[in-house]
Amino acid sequence: MDDVEVRRLPGELPQLFDPSRDGDGERTLSVPLPEGDVVWPDPGYPQRRPLLRPAFWLSDEPVHGELWGRLRAEHARSGLWPLLMDETDQPWASGQIAPEPVAEIENYVPQAFMSEVWSDWAELAADEDHDDLAPYGRHCPGLAAPGVPVDDPDAMADRYARVLAGRGMSLGLVAVDRGADTLTAAGWQGALNHNEWTAPLSAVLRGWEDRFGARVVALGFNTLELSVAAPPITTRHAAHVAAEHWTFCPDILFQGPGTLAGYAEEIRGKTNWSFWWD
């Protein structure tokens, strides 16, 4: 078997790519993979649009963080973004997922999403005080300015993956051009109680990749873990970023410190962001 055959995507991995869009091209993967299999959406689980291919590949057993970093480094050649996937609450292998077309992410604008969430909350809380969202209150501040990098985003992601892998997570591989799109392509449903579709959340994550050097590292049943290479450093900037986080995931505020100012202090200078939804 020649070198090209050895390096082509092994097993069923080519099935993850849309053949009508890009097939598996000349993609290669030189990193040996553990035992695993592709995951198809459960046909009995509500789907927005039936998927005619697997949503992602999943390892049978937990993996070390070093493997995540090696696969992340090969993403440009393989087209596969690695995820650490927590199976403690609901096995990913059950197929209770609802993939959405990645192309739909471009239909959403992060600032418009933020403004809509803020406006809906302001309307529902019209008769209440708004001290918990001070200094903004009823008025959405829009998107925060970019952060100043403290390290290379990929190096930061590799380090965080080594930390998270200590929790005993499985490895997922998703066919996407960038990590932000994994939530949509994999059919993750963790934020269903907050937002019906996942594509808008991926649009927000794309913006965080660009402005804060964020990288999607891990997913759980209703959790998301990001590494952050350009976090907010000042109190004012952290409050602005915290406002974005609140519209993305309200539970981190209302089930956390309770105020935007309190949450801002939690993320100021922090190089990883953790989200959870009830």
Question: How confident is the model at residue 129, as a pLDDT?
Answer: 64
**CA 278 from centroid of its chain's CA atoms:** 17
Q: Chain-wide mean pLDDT for the chain?
A: 91
Question: How confident is the model at residue 256, as a pLDDT?
Answer: 85
Question: How confident is the model at residue 193, as a pLDDT?
Answer: 80
Question: How confident is the model at residue 253, as a pLDDT?
Answer: 85
Rounded to whole angstroms, the Cα distance separating 114 from 130 reads 17
Give the full edge-to-edge strand order of the sheet including 272-276.
Answer: 36-39, 56-62, 170-175, 80-85, 214-219, 223-228, 272-276
Q: Do 112 and 143 touch, CB atoms closer than 8 A? A: no
What pTM, to 2 d.p., does this model score? 0.93
Rounded to whole angstroms, the Cα distance separating 45 from 49 reads 11
User: Can you give the residue ranges of every domain in the chain?
Assistant: 3-106+143-276
pLDDT tens digit at each of 278 positions of the chain: 344 344 789 999 999 998 776 655 689 999 999 999 999 998 888 887 777 899 999 999 999 999 999 999 999 999 999 999 998 767 688 888 999 999 999 999 999 999 999 998 888 766 566 678 889 988 899 999 999 999 999 999 999 999 999 999 999 999 999 999 999 999 999 998 888 889 999 999 999 999 999 999 999 999 999 999 999 999 999 999 999 999 999 999 888 888 999 999 999 999 999 999 98
b (16+ CB within 10 A) / e for 82-117: bbbbbbeeeebeebbbbbbebebbeebebeebbbeb
Question: How confident is the model at residue 38, as a pLDDT?
Answer: 96
DSSP string, the chain: --HHHHHBPPTTGGGGS-TTTTTTTT-B--SPP-SEEEEPPPTTS--SS--SS-SEEEEEEE--HHHHHHHHHTHHHH-EEEEEE--SSS-GGG-------GGGGGG--HHHHHHHHHHHHHHHTTTS--GGGTTTTTS---PPPPPPPSS-HHHHHHHHHHHHGGG-PEEEEEE-SSGGGHHHHHT--TTTTT-S-SHHHHHHHHHHHHHH-EEEEEE-SSEEEEEESS---SHHHHHHHHHHHHHH-THHHHTTTSSHHHHHHHHTT-SEEEEE--
Question: How confident is the model at residue 187, as a pLDDT?
Answer: 94
* Termini Cα distance of the chain: 50
Cis status of the peptide bond prior to 10, with omega within 30 of 0: no
Question: How confident is the model at residue 23, as a pLDDT?
Answer: 54
Token pair of 236 as six digits: 């004012």
